[in-house]
Chain A
Amino acid sequence: MFDKKKLNFWRLTVIFLSFTVITLISLYLSPQEKKASMMTESMANMASIHLENITIYDLVGSSDSENNSQASGTTAQTANTSQHHEDKNSAVQTMGIITTIIIFALLPLLICGAIILAIVWIK
């Protein structure tokens, strides 16, 4: 039988499905050119430098050996990504600096905290 306690889950499912269908319909009805151009922007380039036939040696190897690897074709795309980040306006740059500082300042502390918790929890 249908569990009434799970009714809210199915309501949420219907809401999210509705949002998905509405988004897909609105995209289907809108022009295509703008979206195609956006594929060359920002992190979109990263989608094409996904891991393919790479070894651990390649990951730890020096950048000199990059030209010989199968991923060498991605250098130009990464350069485009870097160029995009340089072109961002100052507000976005400031936000980028702040978020980078937050992440890199907290990361060592977070790792230390996780190690402490692991020791305490195992005891």
Chain B
Amino acid sequence: MKNVRFDLVMHWLYAIIWALLAISGFAMIGAKFGWILNFNFTMADTVHRFSASAFVLITFIAVIHEIIRKIKKDNRPQPWNIIGRSGYQLFNFIITLLLILSGVLIWICMEFNEKAVAFALLIHENISYLSLISIIWHIFKKTHILIWPKNKVKQDIK
């Protein structure tokens, strides 16, 4: 347990929550993707709201972790980190913030300003498509990591 990396755990927690948000979110767009959850919009709504809070929480933890690293002047690379100052980590951080902000706008304005909701929905939906495309690209680029390190395991056993 001592060797479990914080950034690795955060990465996969984020991936699971992102997948739940994507499945429930795309299912709510309407008839074109409603089939993903058998047109059960009520369940999709519930799952999306619950996952959204976990998404905000995990992003907040990642931000705090990064700030603490900066305060401690810890410059060791954390390749699994979900946010960072360059590359895909920075892209993901910006996309995450935009998704959270537009999602919150939908949440707040639902009851009294449907025009703002419509605007936020447009942003939220299109950024979701961009995020989905980038995730597929990310999986393609990093897929070699999924190859189990057999040689390393053998060495560890010896």
Q: Which residues of A contact B (CB under 8 A)?
A: 5-9, 12, 23-24, 27, 30, 34-35, 38-39, 41-44, 46-52, 54, 58-59, 61, 63, 66, 69, 71, 74-75, 78, 81-82, 84, 92, 95-96, 98-100, 102-104, 106-107, 109-110, 113-114, 116-117, 120-121
Q: Would A99 and B53 count as touching, CB distance under 8 A?
A: yes
* Identity of the chain A residue whose Cβ is nearest the Cβ of B90 in the assembled complex: A121
The bracket for how many chain B residues form the interface is 35 or more
Q: Which residues of B contact A (CB under 8 A)?
A: 28-31, 34-36, 38-42, 44-46, 48-50, 52-53, 56-57, 59-60, 63-64, 66-67, 70, 83, 85, 93, 97, 100, 104, 106-107, 110-119, 121-122, 139-140, 143-144, 146-147
25 contacts between A and B (CB under 8 A): A5-B143, A9-B139, A12-B139, A27-B35, A35-B34, A35-B39, A39-B34, A43-B44, A44-B28, A44-B30, A44-B41, A47-B31, A50-B118, A52-B118, A54-B115, A66-B114, A66-B115, A78-B117, A82-B110, A82-B111, A106-B57, A110-B56, A110-B59, A113-B67, A114-B63
For the complex, what is the distance from the CA of A96 to the CA of B48, rounded to whole Å?
A: 11
Q: Which label, helix, strand, loop or mixed, suits the secondary structure of the A interface? A: helix
B-side contacts of A110, CB under 8 Å: 56, 59-60, 63, 97, 100
